[in-house]
């Protein structure tokens, strides 16, 4: 069997067998199949698509490329949350410690920046000293002790996905329902959680821009979870504009600290709302609440009484980070040398604040990766002062760009403004939660 035969078969629209997919995935994982051949396979799969059966084969192959964690030594129902990716989507940063503070063990294996979307690991690593690389035993022991651990994929967990994930980011093959489904579920099945809450984004800043595609992805992932006998809930949420008021890494950590202090405002209400909605389902699936409404109330209380912030601080300290960031983030986190206020070019109401344009602007500033080897600037990012529906005067600040050079800021400014539209009448703000599905 040859890798080129498999690539050409999929290129021509053929259906791949389980044996062919296993051969390709295992060969790529071992290094026998090159990056450029894997890139060709990804593009062929992206353009021609994969059937549910092929997607199931791919998920199993990626899962079986490594080990499956055994979390049975940890008492309680272990629940994870996963987002398909968005702009300003640092929900996991607040949600994981909040759920743990409410008694649900949270084993969270997160990803890095992908395309115009941010990565939870990159955000966490903007905290000085924070370790996202951890061995299996240490990962399990931390969850047993404090109830939460947030790390990246280890060498043992779905190594095939780790390699393919990195290639997808730089080969324009991110927005594929089969590839996304297999990537999500190979990791989640391998990490050993009992239940999963999935946040499926839709809108201009999401990989699934159309609601119908988001629904297809949610159903595809739920189907994989059902066959694996995992309890799951999928929440389809809006990503037409960024969540919260910060886009980047250190800036999102600082926002998280403020939210875990119980603070919120007109710019961060959507971040808080979604944290509570997803958290409510985590507590329900984790057996800590009779329903998602009761769970949501518990999440809200943990945010307001400071127990979520305390758990966040414990997690940071346990993973080698400077937990003083929870007390004085402005002094601990990196600060960029150059800032630029963006004034509104018109008077009126913010009609569109396109999430993808904002995400691309943050990437140009250095908050994301343009190539596989790009180094992220933890201080780079964007602060939002206006969101959809807000009234604005001409010349009034709509955002602030944070970067390391004037050249980067100029490019980011053009990108940001390309996604900003001002109207004469106030638009209706987008609906945050579109649909909830359960397996």
Catalytic site includes residue 187:
yes
Catalytic (active site) residue 186:
no
Catalytic position from the list 162, 187, 201, 387: 187
Residue 67 and residue 338: Cα distance in Å, rounded?
A: 45
Residue of 112, 162, 168, 387 marked active site: 168
Query: 395: which 2 tokens?
Result: 């010349």
Q: Which of 80, 161, 169, 194 is catalytic?
A: 161
Provide the phi-psi class of 306: left if phi over 0, else alpha when psi is between -120 and 50, else beta: left
- Cα–chain-centroid distance for residue 242? 13
DSSP state of 365: I
Return the closest-CA partner of residue 98 out of 310, 327, 318: 310
DSSP code per residue over 280-293: HHHHHHTTSSSSHH
Tokens 């990012």, located at residue: 381
Alpha-carbon distance 368 to 403, whole Å?
A: 12
Angle at CA 24, nearest 5°, toward 22 and 27?
100
Cβ contacts of residue 340 below 8 Å, gap of 6+? 400, 401, 409, 413
Residue pair 382/247 in contact (Cβ under 8 Å)? The answer is yes
Catalytic residue among 81, 82, 162, 387: 82
| Reduced 3-state DSSP string for 26-82 | HHHHHCCCCHHHHHHHHHHHHHHCCCHHHHHHHHHHHHCCCCCCCCCCCCCCCEEEE
Per the CB < 8 A criterion, the answer to whether 53 and 223 are in contact is no
C-alpha span between 242 and 271 (Å, rounded): 9
Rounded CA separation 360/337 (Å): 20
Distance in Å from the first CA to the final CA of the chain: 38
Q: For residue 109, list its beta bridge partners.
A: 151
Which element (helix H / strand E) includes 130? none
Dihedral pair phi/psi, residue 15, rounded to 5°: -95, 125
Of the listed 45, 92, 181, 183, which one is catalytic?
A: 183
* Distances 10 to 51, 66, 166, 289 between C-alpha atoms, Å: 11, 25, 21, 46
Active site residue 168: yes
Q: Around Cβ 378, how many Cβ atoms within 10 Å? A: 23
Q: How many residues does the chain have?
A: 439
CB 30 within 8 A of CB 162: no
Residues known to be catalytic? 82, 161, 168, 183, 187
């Amino acid at each position: 069997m040859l890798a080129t035969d498999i690539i050409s078969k999929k290129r021509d629209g053929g259906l791949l067998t389980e044996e062919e997919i296993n051969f390709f995935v295992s060969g790529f994982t071992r290094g026998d199949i090159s990056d450029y051949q894997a890139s060709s396979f990804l593009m062929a799969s992206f353009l021609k698509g994969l059937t549910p059966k092929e997607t199931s084969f791919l998920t199993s192959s990626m899962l079986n490329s490594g080990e499956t964690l055994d979390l049975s030594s940890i008492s309680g129902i272990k629940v994870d949350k996963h987002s398909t990716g968005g702009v300003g989507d640092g929900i996991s940063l607040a949600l994981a410690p909040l759920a743990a503070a409410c008694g649900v063990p949270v084993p969270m294996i997160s990803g890095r920046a992908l395309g115009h979307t941010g990565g939870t690991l990159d955000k966490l690593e903007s905290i000085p000293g924070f370790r996202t690389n951890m061995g299996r035993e240490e990962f399990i022991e931390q969850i047993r002790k404090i109830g939460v651990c947030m790390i990246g994929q280890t060498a043992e967990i779905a190594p095939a996905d780790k390699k393919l994930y990195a290639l997808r980011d730089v080969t324009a093959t991110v927005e594929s329902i089969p590839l996304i489904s297999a990537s999500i579920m190979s990791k989640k099945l391998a990490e050993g959680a009992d239940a999963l809450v999935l946040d499926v984004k839709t809108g201009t800043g999401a990989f699934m821009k159309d609601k119908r595609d988001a629904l297809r992805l949610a159903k595809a992932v739920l189907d994989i979870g059902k066959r694996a006998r995992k309890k799951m809930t999928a929440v389809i949420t809006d990503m037409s504009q960024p969540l919260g008021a910060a886009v980047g890494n250190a800036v999102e950590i600082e926002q998280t600290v403020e939210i875990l202090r119980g603070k919120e405002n007109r710019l961060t209400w959507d971040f808080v709302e979604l944290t509570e909605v997803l958290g409510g389902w985590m507590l329900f699936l984790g057996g800590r609440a009779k329903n998602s409404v009761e769970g949501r109330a518990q999440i809200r209380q943990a945010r307001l009484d400071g127990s979520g912030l305390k758990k966040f601080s414990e997690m940071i300290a346990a993973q080698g980070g400077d937990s003083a960031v929870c007390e004085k983030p402005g002094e601990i986190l990196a600060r960029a040398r150059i800032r630029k206020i963006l004034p509104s070019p018109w008077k009126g109401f913010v009609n569109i604040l396109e999430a993808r344009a904002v995400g691309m602007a943050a990437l140009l500033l250095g908050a994301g990766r343009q190539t596989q080897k790009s180094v992220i600037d933890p201080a780079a990012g964007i602060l939002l002062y206006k969101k959809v529906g807000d009234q604005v005067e001409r010349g009034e600040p709509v955002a602030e760009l944070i970067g390391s050079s004037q050249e980067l800021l100029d490019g980011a400014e053009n990108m940001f403004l390309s996604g900003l539209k001002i109207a004469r009448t106030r638009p209706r703000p987008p609906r945050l939660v579109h649909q909830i599905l359960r397996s």
